[in-house]
Amino acid sequence: MSANLKYLSLGILVFQTTSLVLTMRYSRTLKEEGPRYLSSTAVVVAELLKIMACILLVYKDSKCSLRALNRVLHDEILNKPMETLKLAIPSGIYTLQNNLLYVALSNLDAATYQWPSDSQLDSKELSAGSQFVGLMAVLTACFSSGFAGVYFEKILKETKQSVWIRNIQLGFFGSIFGLMGVYIYDGELVSKNGFFQGYNRLTWIVVVLQALGGLVIAAVIKYADNILKGFATSLSIILSTLISYFWLQDFVPTSVFFLGAILVITATFLYGYDPKPAGNPTKA
């Protein structure tokens, strides 16, 4: 049963990450009238949806009893403040990572579009600047994700609390950190155009996929490990790029990309390969 959950959660993670990257990229580059939605508010809404989903799952595990749900939340969260505070560190890092993902996709993709400009030189400078900002966002997200993943795995596997309770704690701090980011960076825009400015059907799809990602990642770390989660994410990057090339036709892979793809696939195979033990040779 554990092995089935392991590979099921990994498969869902690959699908979720691929869908999220493609829809998020499209939503951040789509030209529409009016203000574009704020990535900081999308991160907060995703955290709130994740909390709601986890509360429903705990309610289901509590045999659909509101009294039992209230007792579980009170005993596992309010009565264990130090255990809850442990989630503040990975939560803050995950919130930063989610915001950086929007920054990376917004800037890296901008380089593939023809920006209106009076001169070709200005366009090249803007493209190079966008690529640099996007690259820095990706690198920062990678390093922070690795640390947060290992820390979260340690917490999940060393305690008996359910993964859904841990996600509620994670989402609680994530919402607080996210709201702080909204106030600091986009407070003026929110007061002018509202918290849900620029939201449309595609934006809500992105938000739901991001909330789903938090649940799936927690399940992967619980039933597999953080290393395998990294491989699943790498596979989704390759899948996203292939879709971009063959379907969206907005990316041309290079030899370096193919080399990286081969290395990722080989590493995934070697990590999951379980060689059969050699039998003892029979003596004549």
CA nearest 50: which of 215, 221, 217? 215
Q: What's the pLDDT at 143? A: 72
Instruction: Show the tokens assigned to 263.
Output: 């290395």
Same domain, 88 and 193: yes
Same domain, 96 and 48: yes
Domain boundary (136, 163, 198) is at: 198
> Which residues neighbour 102 within 8 Å (Cβ) at sequence distance 6 or greater?
24, 28, 39, 42, 43
Q: What's the pLDDT at 93? A: 83
Render each residue's pLDDT in the chain as its tens digit; 284 residues: 456 666 777 788 788 888 887 888 788 777 777 788 998 999 999 999 999 999 998 998 888 899 999 999 998 888 888 888 888 888 888 888 777 777 776 665 433 322 333 333 344 444 555 666 666 776 777 677 677 777 777 777 777 778 888 889 989 999 999 999 899 889 999 999 999 999 999 999 999 998 888 788 777 766 666 566 666 766 777 777 777 777 766 667 778 777 877 777 677 667 655 666 655 555 44
Same domain, 135 and 264: no
CA nearest 100: which of 18, 40, 176? 40
In a domain, 279, yes or no: no
Same domain, 141 and 90: yes
Q: What's the pLDDT at 105? A: 66
Q: What is the domain count for the chain?
A: 2
Same domain, 155 and 246: no
Q: What's the pLDDT at 242? A: 76
Q: What's the pLDDT at 136? A: 73
Torsion of CA 5, 8, 11, 15, to 10 degrees: -110
Q: What's the pLDDT at 204? A: 94
Same domain, 184 and 62: yes
Range of the domain at 233: 1-32+200-204+223-273
Q: What's the pLDDT at 274? A: 61
Q: What's the pLDDT at 116? A: 32
Q: What's the pLDDT at 112? A: 32
In a domain, 94, yes or no: yes
